[in-house]
Amino acid sequence: MKLYFSRNYNPRLAVATARYLGVPVEFEFASPFDPVHIDHFRALNPNHRIPILLEDDGTALWEADAIACRLSQLAGSAFWRTGAMEPRMLQWLSWANGDFVAGCDKVHFERVTRQRYGHGPIRTHYVEDGLALFHQSAAILDAHLANQNWLLEDGISYADFRAACVLPFADIAGLPVADYPNITAWLARLSAIEAWNDPFAGLEAPALPAPAI
């Protein structure tokens, strides 16, 4: 079984999950837009993105959340909740993707991704929209974390990894995480987990180019 990844935040999320769960996968750094490999990756994922989990039977699974679900199945782990707690976990996954992560991503895309790959100047109105969504959703998350250590009351889950997926890049994106003490404490708890803090340890994973800002 092989996990194709890069250092961008969704592939990072998949690698961190695999390493946290201890699933024996082969990690392979991928450049899906390299002309030498483009047809290979397009055949595995019609969206032409990574991460991609290539199973032993040749089946390709794409999208980080789906990969996390599969890895949790393989590990026999409740990291991806099933049963009575599954709806609660899915609530936070849906909210994270539509609100908190979306706000973080808008800011990161303008200040980091577009500058890293020379896609033009920062579009201030997109940053302002992203920061507004970040603050709106961060206030909800901070209030929730005032009463418990993790998003689910019964302990850490994949929802925590998903909601925090952009925050390893918060400094470079200029996301004002420090304004929210309970989020800051939650990130410290996540950072104490080796698989989250340094998912690429020991892997061949070239650094991302620095943004031209």
* Pairing mode, strands 26-29 and 60-62: unpaired
| Assigned domain for 210 exists | no
Name the amino acid, one letter, at 3: L
What are the pLDDT digits (tens) for 114-159? Answer: 999 888 999 999 999 999 999 999 999 999 999 999 999 999 999 9
What are the pLDDT digits (tens) for 81-124? Answer: 999 999 999 999 999 999 999 999 999 999 999 999 888 999 99
% of the chain exceeding 70 in pLDDT = 100
Which has the minimum average pLDDT: 16-25, 64-73, 203-212?
203-212
Instruction: Evaluate if residue 213 carries a pLDDT over 90.
Output: no
What are the pLDDT digits (tens) for 167-190? Answer: 999 999 999 999 999 999 999 999
Q: Angle of helix 101-108 relative to helix 124-145, nearest 10 degrees?
A: 150
> Looking at the structure, do residues 93 and 192 belong to the same domain, yes or no?
yes
Domain count, the chain: 2
Beta-carbon count within 10 A of 108 CB: 24
- pLDDT for the residue numbered 117: 86
> Looking at the structure, do residues 62 and 87 belong to the same domain, yes or no?
no
At 189, which CATH number? 1.20.1050.10
> Looking at the structure, do residues 30 and 98 belong to the same domain, yes or no?
no
Residues 64, 67: Cα–Cα separation, whole Å: 5
- Domain limits for position 104: 83-196
Phi, psi of 168 (to 5 degrees): -60, -15
> Looking at the structure, do residues 88 and 192 belong to the same domain, yes or no?
yes
State which H helix or E strand residue 5 sits in. Answer: strand 2-5
- When the pLDDT of each residue in the chain is averaged and rounded to a whole number, the result is 95
Q: Which residues contact 76 (CB under 8 A, 6 or more apart)?
A: none
Rg of the chain taking only CA atoms, in angstroms:
17
Residues 79, 101: Cα–Cα separation, whole Å: 20
Q: Which residue has the tokens 């909210």?
A: 95
